[in-house]
Copies of this chain bind each other. A is one copy, B any other.
Amino acid sequence: MRTIVWNEKKQCVEIIDQNALPVDYITISLFSYNDVIRAIQHMTVRGAPAIGVTGAYGMALAALRSSEPQLSDIKAELGEIAQKIGGARPTAVNLWNMLDRTLDLIKGFEGHVDDLKAELLKFAHHLAEEDVALNMQLSRHGAELIEDGDHIVHHCNTGALATVDYGTALGVIRMAHEQGKKIHVYVDETRPRLQGSRLTAWELKQYGIPYDIITDSSSGHLMQMGLVNKVFFGADRVAMNGDVANKIGSYMLALAAVDNNVPVYSVFPMSTVDAKIRNGKEIEIEQRDDREVLDIALNGDIVVPDAATALNYAFDVTPNRLLTGLVTEHGVLYPPFYEKLDKIIREGI
């Protein structure tokens, strides 16, 4: 399963429509950077690493469709388009990291416009391959933390669907399963968009890993009963001090874990670290449409009163003090995180 694939014949990016899963498995073709922006905004593609690579393909598509004949003009045009793509979702930093790396390539490029177009497509392919390789690598590091018989709480979706392939936190779980460890996953349903019930449950079924879906407010009780050994979730943006912005609910999950001496790990590639942000408090938290909270039905009936209003923050920040470790492609980092993240970044990722 690959979430993002280049179709050479049609010259477009094909992505799995994550809003249609698990009812329908549909791929959607993105022909322009505007298609890419819409897909990111509507969460047709979601998951910080998947968004990042889709954004890079958005730049390649923009270049391919550009009619600017002059190198300086297409460079200026692509610079503006990067701003638009980067604004599609504010919290996940991988998008800007991939765009910045693409802009560096553009800036340094000398030669013919057609060669730039070819280079940008090649670079998007490279970033996609790199994402899969990094996920395999960090999953191998993380899998060492999992013991045979572990019961693991997992929040949101961080699997193949959230990345180009394999996954981050769910990649760790998958790797441990492939190593023959017996694991049971408690899948946080992850309101409001239910990425847990919809996507993670669907992925776990493909991998043959046993699970139970739980409501997001259940993990504390399961931990009090001694039913949970570890917590794994992903990250959308990590501050240099190790504060982790991730799907709303991660913070309360981490609080429950710490209160019950259950270790908590956030799993991400280093492209999720924002070197410009020292503290999680500086991270902009995206608010989404309140219909995501209100358009909920039980047994087929919409149940929220007419004219009800909701407040819908998509992410929260888990302070570093609640995190046992950060799982990256460079291994598992333990607190204090600042110097370790800084060293990795200074030595080059």
Partner of A311, one of B212, B295, B303, B310: B212
Q: Are B224 and A251 neighbours in the complex by a CB distance under 8 Å? A: yes
A216 sits at the interface (CB 8 A): yes
Partner of A296, one of B218, B220, B298, B308: B298
Q: How many angstroms between the C-alpha atoms of A211 and B307 in the bound complex?
A: 11
A186 sits at the interface (CB 8 A): yes
A1 sits at the interface (CB 8 A): no
Known interface pairs A252-B255, A317-B224; A191-B217 also in contact (CB < 8 Å) = yes
Most B-side CB within 10 Å, residue of A198, A220, A252, A295: A252
Most B-side CB within 10 Å, residue of A213, A297, A302: A213
Q: How many angstroms between the C-alpha atoms of A219 and B259 in the bound complex?
A: 17
Most B-side CB within 10 Å, residue of A214, A217, A255, A259: A217
Partner of A216, one of B23, B217, B221, B297: B217
CB distance from A347 to the nearest CB of B (A): 33
Provide the residues of chain B in CB contact with A309, threshold 8 Å: 211-213
A248 sits at the interface (CB 8 A): yes
A83 sits at the interface (CB 8 A): no
Interface string of A257-285 (1 = CB under 8 A from B): 00100000000000000000000000001
Q: Are B256 and A197 neighbours in the complex by a CB distance under 8 Å? A: no
A5 sits at the interface (CB 8 A): no
Known interface pairs A224-B317, A305-B202; A219-B252 also in contact (CB < 8 Å) = yes
A67 sits at the interface (CB 8 A): no
- Mostly, the A contact residues are mixed
Task: Find residues 142-192 in chain A having any chain B CB closer than 8 Å to their own CB.
Answer: 186, 189-192
Number of interface residues of A (CB under 8 A): 60
Q: Are A311 and B222 neighbours in the complex by a CB distance under 8 Å? A: yes
Provide the residues of chain B in CB contact with A295, threshold 8 Å: 298-299
Q: How many angstroms between the C-alpha atoms of A201 and B307 in the bound complex?
A: 10
Q: How many angstroms between the C-alpha atoms of A317 and B221 in the bound complex?
A: 7
Known interface pairs A220-B255, A251-B220; A215-B201 also in contact (CB < 8 Å) = no
Partner of A304, one of B22, B224, B307, B308: B22
Q: What are some 11 contacts across the A-B interface (CB < 8 A)?
A: A192-B215, A197-B296, A201-B304, A212-B310, A213-B310, A214-B310, A214-B311, A215-B216, A220-B251, A221-B317, A252-B255
Q: Apart from A217-B252, A297-B298, what are 5 other A-B pairs with CB-CB below 8 Å?
A: A22-B304, A189-B296, A191-B191, A191-B217, A211-B309
Name A's B-contacting residues (CB within 8 A).
22-23, 186, 189-194, 197-198, 201-202, 205, 211-222, 224, 248-249, 251-253, 255-256, 259, 285, 290, 293-305, 307-313, 315-317
Q: Which 9 A-B pairs have the closest CB atoms?
A: A217-B249, A221-B316, A297-B297, A191-B215, A212-B311, A220-B252, A213-B310, A216-B217, A22-B305
